[in-house]
A and B are shown apart, each in its own frame.
Chain A
Amino acid sequence: MSQWRALGKGHGYGLFSSLGRRLRHPFAYSLSLLAMAVALLLPLFGWLALANLRAMTVGSGAPADFSLFMSLAATSDDARLLCARLLEDQRLQGCEAVAPAQSQAELLQFDRLAAAGELELPIVLRLQLKPGPAPAPETLVAAWQQLPGVDWVSFDSRWLQRLDAAMQFGRTLVLAIAALLALGLMVIVGNTVRLEMAQRRDEIQVLRLIGASPAFIRRPYLYAGAWDGLIAAVLALAAMGMILWLVQPAAQQLALSYREGFVWQSLDAATIAGVLAAGVFMGWCGAFLATTRHLREAESWGAE
């Protein structure tokens, strides 16, 4: 039990002494931290911007969102009854029945050959959703498909598919930038740790000579790296919070002009926890790589 206590004490010493050593050079440390914070801030900003853009645009699409193609046997009375039934759903804003003759006329504008033939068209119900949160289009399509007298339901999703493709591209771009900046953060932490180890070279050699394991030597530096990542993450979140606070009123105004009931997406608990964890993890990784390399080099110090 006492050995565990000693081990815990060793970890505690490593945890706090590493921070203390960093704070002895506040100016140089602040510069490193700022660089690391920016590396975390940029992808976080991109991610939040994409999330808000997506929320702003979904549901603000074309007025005729869905088309219900009735069976050929359905009459205009059937269509009217179905429209009335559908409009009982509070999520729907409008239902317009399009007669076959009107469809024929519209088709003629696009495809003269098709219109010229003996084409029998059904009555089409054009449904329009109210602005605001709505279930997934696929869910509505599946539900309406089951209605009596309905042959087929189509959802005009091309604009949404384009948006999704653009969002996917944006997400990939943000991920690629995040990966590059994470690498940058690890390099900054690794370099800071490397410099610190170089300064403490004599101490490391003494520790090795009296039998300290690589894990023991490495421990305070790993903690230092984790501290670096954590503090940089806190700074990045604070900066993000400040940016959001500054831009939110104007952005909200802009978003509402596109879509009613738009709710601005801010930093939630999961995002905050994720950024903090990512900071700690990347700081730890950077320190691990630097200490591994340094300790390998230290093997050759024996002859000195």
Chain B
Amino acid sequence: MSIRFDNVSKTYEGQRQGLIGVSFAIEPGEMVFVTGHSGAGKSTMLRLLSRMEAPSEGDIEVLGESLSRMRRPAIPAYRRRLGLVFQDHRLLADRSVFENVALPLILAGTAEAEMRRRVGAVLEQLGLRGLDGVRPGSLSTGQQQRVGIARAIVARPPILLADEPTGNLDPHLSQEVMQLFLMLGAEGTTVLVASHDLPLIQRMRRRVLVLDRGRLIDDFRPTKAAA
């Protein structure tokens, strides 16, 4: 099992419920969409999975490790096994595209030559060739999003968590990013995508978790693509 939620609840201060009794399991290499309205609990789920927060009740198991019992010093090493794609990119403004994308490899202690090869390959894959030395501030929103995706996948993490990864991309690029995610899935990476983009979700015909006000109300796989 790659990810397992076991009756997970998250309660914030003021008794606001982020998640209520959510249970599901995701196999290695599976690509799953999480959808729901704003405030449904998608972001809470991603924050719990990235161990920015701990669940109030229940347990989350990722790659065989319990996040509820994970001690603070173990969190950085756990996070290095995740690829995170943020809706707002979160790139380092004073570093070049290359340096941004290379960060996970630097943290992993990857050798220089190998780092250059892998960053070059992923930039090529995402249509960012030639932008290595450019600062993120001079890129378009779509390009920034792709740099964020490149950073998330460059270290080939076993799990990729993406929060609205196609929110700033045109349909063509969105499709390409999804194909990239599928390819990663085929190579064994578990991909969890939080998205509002229902047409895209339907086109992908992958498993969908539907959240509503913190509860998991549906868990299904679309049978045919939307018209």
Binding site for B on A (CB under 8 A): 2-3, 5-7, 9-10, 202-203, 205-214, 216, 299, 302-303
Question: B79–A6 contact, CB under 8 A?
Answer: no
| Chain B residues, CB < 8 A from A7 | 109
In the bound complex, CA of A214 to CA of B77 (Å) = 11
In the bound complex, CA of A207 to CA of B104 (Å) = 9
In the bound complex, CA of A207 to CA of B93 (Å) = 13
In the bound complex, CA of A211 to CA of B113 (Å) = 22
- Choose from A6, A210, A299 the contact partner of B103 (Cβ within 8 Å): A210
Question: B112–A9 contact, CB under 8 A?
Answer: yes
Query: Which residue of chain B is the closest to A203 with respect to CB atoms?
Result: B92
Listed A/B pairs (7) with beta-carbon separation below 8 Å: A5-B112, A209-B90, A210-B151, A213-B76, A213-B107, A302-B47, A303-B47
- Choose from B50, B77, B114 the contact partner of A209 (Cβ within 8 Å): B50
Interface string of B108-137 (1 = CB under 8 A from A): 011111110000000000000000000000
* Contact status of A10 and B90, CB under 8 A, knowing A2-B112, A211-B77: no
In the bound complex, CA of A232 to CA of B114 (Å) = 40
| Chain A residues, CB < 8 A from B80 | 210-211
Question: Can you add 9 more A-B contacts, CB < 8 Å, to A6-B111, A213-B77, A299-B72?
Answer: A2-B112, A2-B113, A5-B112, A6-B109, A209-B90, A210-B79, A211-B76, A211-B107, A214-B76
| Chain B residues, CB < 8 A from A2 | 111-114
Number of A-B contacts (CB under 8 A): 65
Question: A303–B52 contact, CB under 8 A?
Answer: yes
In the bound complex, CA of A119 to CA of B91 (Å) = 97
Determine how close the nearest CB of chain A comes to the CB of B90; give it in whole angstroms.
5
Question: B53–A303 contact, CB under 8 A?
Answer: yes
| Chain A residues, CB < 8 A from B82 | 211
Interface string of B180-221 (1 = CB under 8 A from A): 000000000000000000000000000000000000000000
Asked if B226 is at the interface of the complex by the 8 Å CB criterion, the answer is no
Question: A211–B47 contact, CB under 8 A?
Answer: no
Interface string of B88-109 (1 = CB under 8 A from A): 0011111000000001101101
Question: A211–B104 contact, CB under 8 A?
Answer: yes
